[in-house]
Amino acid sequence: MSPADLIAIYFYFFAALAILGALGVVVLRNIFHSVLSMIVCLFAVAGFFVLLNAEFLAAVQVIIYVGAIMVLIIFAILLSTRIMRRDIVQTNAYVLPGIIVSLAFLVTTFFVIISTRFVEDYHVPFYPAWLAEASEKLDNTMIVGWSLMATYSLPFEIASILLLMALIGGVVLAHRKEDD
Amino acid sequence: MPYQDYNWVALFILAGIAFTGVALLVAWLIRPSRIAFSKLTTYECGEEPQYTAWIRYNPRFYVIAIIFLVFDVDVVFMFPWASAYKILLFGIPYHFEAIGLPAFGEMFIFLVILLLGWLFAWKKGAFEWV
């Protein structure tokens, strides 16, 4: 089995997993089970990033989407929905708009795919030769880490201030509710 | 990481699935099947479980979730820093200059700024339960 075959197997595995997860989000009747299904879908997307050699993005996908965003959504459900009463009743009131929107999305995606020139069509590397040479030896996570410290150290520190603002804002808002 | 190494990751995932499947299958094959109501209840260390677990939770858990989110994003910044620490200290000739100790200092400042928020949450009583 050649590496290309193996990559194709991985791709179809993750594609099937992503589609099944996304279907589960829509089809499952319990909203909490939908969230768990969404985790499967987002995890499969992390697999795509690995296949595209974007290892750092794959790690970010797992840490941010599977970790943080899904925790936020799970908490939103735990704190707001009365999930104990009954499962969410699924209605088919929006069948026609749903079909129109998804068909439009499908057609748009199709035309974007056939009109895009992919990397193989260019025959010119996208990045400078020294970077290509360096990335033979290094993970792109390392290159991202080095650029964070060397080139982008000020945005890096500003990011921590942004996180500080989010933390203080979240604590202040959540606590005000509790005092009532 | 060269892509061949991901075959090991795939092997780990397969082994994990197989381990769970085999353990459940063997347990299903050898266990006796005598169903009783008390066996199907949630195991609660001697306490009688009451009502259902599908309830609205106390909003104070939300503060914990927010704090988790912030430090989760913090890990996204720490993780490339940690994996690049060797080239930050020693550099690679012609490609990546060595930064040395300031690389440690930058992460220190980053964490101190976040620690301020953590102290604020602590002072605000976000970690108090009673």
CA distance A32 to A25: 9
**A162 interfacial to chain B (CB closer than 8 Å):** no
**Is B78 part of a structural domain of the chain?**
yes
Per CB-CB distance under 8 Å, the chain B contacts of A133 are 95
* pTM, rounded to two decimals: 0.78
Strand partners, B96: B92
* Residues of chain B with C-beta less than 8 angstroms from the C-beta of A177: 59
CA distances for B107 relative to A10, A62, A155, B15, B114, angstroms: 36, 22, 12, 37, 11
Query: What percent of chain A stands above pLDDT 90?
Result: 38
Structure tokens belonging to residue B121: 């949450």
- Write the ipTM: 0.75
B87 vs A146, A153, A166: nearest CB:
A146
* Residue B34 within any structural domain of the chain: no
| pLDDT at residue A180, as a whole number | 47
Confidence of residue B130 (pLDDT cuts 50, 70, 90): low
Tell me the shortest Cα–Cα distance from B95 to chain A, in angstroms.
7
Which of A48, A142, A153, A165 would best serve as a mutation to test chain B binding (most B beta carbons within 10 A)? A142
Domain count for chain B, please give it: 1
Q: Residue B70 domain-assigned?
A: yes
Count of C-beta atoms within a 10 Å radius of residue A33 = 15
pLDDT of A98-148, one tens digit each? 899 999 999 999 999 898 877 666 666 666 777 677 666 777 888 888 888
Total number of residues shown for chain A = 180
Question: Could B114 and A78 be called an inter-chain contact, meaning their C-beta atoms sit closer than 8 Å?
Answer: no
DSSP characters for A2-62? -HHHHHHHHHHHHHHHHHHHHHHHHH-SSHHHHHHHHHHHHHHHHHHHHHTT-HHHHHHII
- pLDDT tens track for B40-70: 777 778 777 777 777 777 777 888 888 888 8
Give how far B82 is from chain A: nearest CA, Å: 8
Residues 6+ apart with CB under 8 A from B74: A160, A163, B110, B111, B114
Q: How far is A64 from chain B (nearest CA, A)?
A: 7
8 A C-beta contact, residue A149 and residue A156: yes
Calculate ∠ Cα A78-A81-A85, nearest 5°. 110
> Across the A/B interface, how many CB contacts are shorter than 8 Å?
171
Among partner residues B81, B106, B116, which is closest to A164 by beta-carbon distance? B116
Q: Is the pLDDT of residue A11 over 70?
A: yes
Q: Does residue B17 sit within a domain?
A: no
Q: How far is CA B37 from the centre of its chain?
A: 35
Rounded mean pLDDT of chain A? 84
| Model pLDDT for residues A14-68, shown as the tens digit of each residue | 999 999 999 999 888 778 888 999 999 999 999 999 888 888 999 999 999 998 9
Residue-wise pLDDT for A154-176, tens only, equals 999 999 999 999 889 888 887 76
CA distance A6 to B4: 10
Let me know if residue B88 belongs to a domain.
Answer: yes
B117 found inside a domain:
yes
CB–CB contact A60 B76 (8 Å): yes
Q: What residue numbers bound the domain in which B112 lies? A: 59-123
Q: Does residue B51 form part of some domain?
A: no
Q: Which of A11-15, A31-35, B17-21 has the lowest mean pLDDT?
A: A31-35
Distance of CA A102 to the CA centre of its chain: 20
What distance in Å separates residue A61's CA from the closest CA in chain B?
Answer: 10
